[in-house]
A and B are shown apart, each in its own frame.
Chain A
Amino acid sequence: MGVIEKELYTIDPVKETTETLVHYVNVSKSYGDVRVLKNLNLEVKKGEKLGLIGPSGSGKTTIIRMLMTLEKPTSGFIKFEDEYLWHKENKKGQLVEADEKHLRKMRTNIGMVFQHFNLFPHMTILRNVMEAPVRVLGLPKEEAKERSVEMLTKVGLRDHLDKYPEQLSGGQKQRVAIARAVVMQPKVMLFDEVTSALDPELVGEVLEVIRELANETDMAMILVTHEMDFAKEISDRIVFLHDGKIEEEGTPNEIFENPRSLRLQNFLKRFLRQ
């Protein structure tokens, strides 16, 4: 713990603009002796749709889990707009470890959809979506319900409001999970391999919902995915990770049509073969 002197954390290797939403500054993450992320520097702009690709174990999921505050960086900083996610400034202007209150404030900006849905099994579909707007945002029940029904209608589940998650297919569950996150109107949505646990025939309906969302909102999105075609179609920018480092980044065209590094070329080859 302890304080961090100001000079240390004001040195930003990448110049920020007013368009910057999220900024990873020299972020590393280790589990015991295993370093899964090594001095990551990454910027996400407001409204940007960023695709994270790479072999498993390359650290892409860790990147978004740290932003959702599910994992704490071992070192480095994550900035969200003008504030630090895992740190806050004390009265002396020093940066100290953030408390739960600060983390809760920061989390209002961030939403996440998980690989295994993680719906609340003891709540109906409607309550799954409504619960946070009522309890966390403090919206009046009626308003929260209206918003939630609207979201669920958008993802095509208007007829399933009173069902329980176990009564839905995987694709439907994941669409509920998307509605549940979006209804909170975060500034950035994180998608963690959201189609990996689905039967192949159910992947399409989930991707369709995300596609629509990407087209009609100005929320930023970070997608960790193995769906290369989808990443290519939907992303403004793609980052290819290898072994905890950014190996290559660029527009979808640059990454998929013109991969420069050998590792990316090999990675894409393996995917095309499948």
Chain B
Amino acid sequence: MTWSWDFAVEIFPVIASALWLVLAVTFGAYLVAVVFGLVLTFLRRTKYKLITYITNGFIEFVRSTPPLIQLFFVYFALPTVGISLDKYTAGILTLGIHYSTYLAEVYRSGIDAVPIGQWEAAKAMNFSKVQTWFRVILPQAIPPVIPMMGNYLIVLFKETPLLMAIGVHEFLQEAKLIGAAHFKYLEAYTIVGLLFLLLSYPSALLINYLEKRSKMKKVRG
């Protein structure tokens, strides 16, 4: 089998047409991860030991099981107990929650880096717990970890082909259908790889830049 440029050019738009869907799923899942990761971070730090235990257990469980299995569980197993989600919701929630456990860890490292004196000053100024978190601690904890958060965005983006397994027509699914219809897989899968590269690499460069900039800031500060 040899490479056919004509065929590649012909099918490129078809595969690339999944772009918006892939981006929507990526950002949707990332939004879930960013928000739910923060929720996990808070739950983990409550004074109620039981909640901390359960949260840590949940994080460990989600992180040590493959996202594909979680996806199958959410999409195929949950309906048997009455929770039916469409494939997009299931995909976004599963990937989002999976990555929220990683982001919770990222937040933790950012929060731990905020000097204890900031907590004490917030207390001395009599801020409430919520004010302390959102006005004092998080504005200092998040900026240094933005590059790390960006990395997870790229990793999450690269995980979207998993959703093929529950019938979401992302890049890989489109390519597979085309490949199967024409018995020509080389062009189709090459284009998928290329699309991921085209999107991931510039993002990685952007994150590198952000990282350098935040380091420069530190040096100046």
Instruction: Sort chain B's interface into a size bin.
Output: 10 to 19
Give Cα A110–Cα B125 distance, bound, in whole angstroms: 9
**The one of B115, B126, B135, B221 that contacts A104, using a Cβ cutoff of 8 Å:** B126
Across-interface contacts of A156 in B (CB, < 8 A): none
Asked if B205 lies at the interface with its beta carbon under 8 angstroms from chain A, I say: no
**Chain B, Cβ-Cβ closest to A190:** B124
Give Cα A118–Cα B135 distance, bound, in whole angstroms: 14
Contact residues, B107-130 vs A (CB, 8 A): 115, 117-118, 120-121, 123-129
B117 touches A131 (CB 8 A): no
Across-interface contacts of A121 in B (CB, < 8 A): 140, 221
A: residues with CB less than 8 A from B are: 68-70, 100, 104, 107-108, 110-112, 114, 116, 118-122, 131-132, 135-136, 166, 180-181, 184
Across-interface contacts of B120 in A (CB, < 8 A): 68, 70, 114, 118
A104 touches B128 (CB 8 A): yes
Q: A120-B136, A122-B139, A122-B140 are in contact. Are A69 and B123 (CB under 8 A)?
A: yes
B121 touches A136 (CB 8 A): no
**Chain B, Cβ-Cβ closest to A180:** B125
User: What does DSSP make chain B's interface, helix, strand, loop or mixed?
Assistant: helix
**Chain A, Cβ-Cβ closest to B121:** A118
Give Cα A25–Cα B131 distance, bound, in whole angstroms: 33
> Number of residue pairs across A and B with beta carbons under 8 Å?
56
A132 touches B129 (CB 8 A): no
Give Cα A184–Cα B123 distance, bound, in whole angstroms: 13
Across-interface contacts of A112 in B (CB, < 8 A): 124
A111 touches B135 (CB 8 A): no
Q: A121-B221, A122-B140 are in contact. Are A131 and B125 (CB under 8 A)?
A: yes
B121 touches A108 (CB 8 A): no
Q: A120-B136, A121-B140, A121-B221 are in contact. Are A136 and B117 (CB under 8 A)?
A: no
0/1 string, B133-148, CB within 8 A of A gives 1: 0011001100000000
B221 touches A118 (CB 8 A): no
Q: A116-B117, A120-B136, A166-B221 are in contact. Are A68 and B124 (CB under 8 A)?
A: yes
Q: List 5 A-B contacts (CB under 8 A).
A: A107-B123, A114-B117, A114-B120, A122-B140, A136-B127
The list of the 4 closest CB pairs from A to B, nearest first, reads A118-B121, A118-B117, A132-B125, A112-B124
Shortest C-beta distance, A200 to chain B (Å), equals 22
Given contacts A135-B131, A166-B221, 4 further A-B contacts (CB under 8 A): A100-B129, A119-B121, A132-B126, A184-B125
Across-interface contacts of A108 in B (CB, < 8 A): 126
A136 touches B125 (CB 8 A): yes
**Chain A, Cβ-Cβ closest to B217:** A166
Give Cα A132–Cα B123 distance, bound, in whole angstroms: 11
Shortest C-beta distance, A131 to chain B (Å), equals 7
Shortest C-beta distance, A29 to chain B (Å), equals 16
Give Cα A107–Cα B123 distance, bound, in whole angstroms: 8
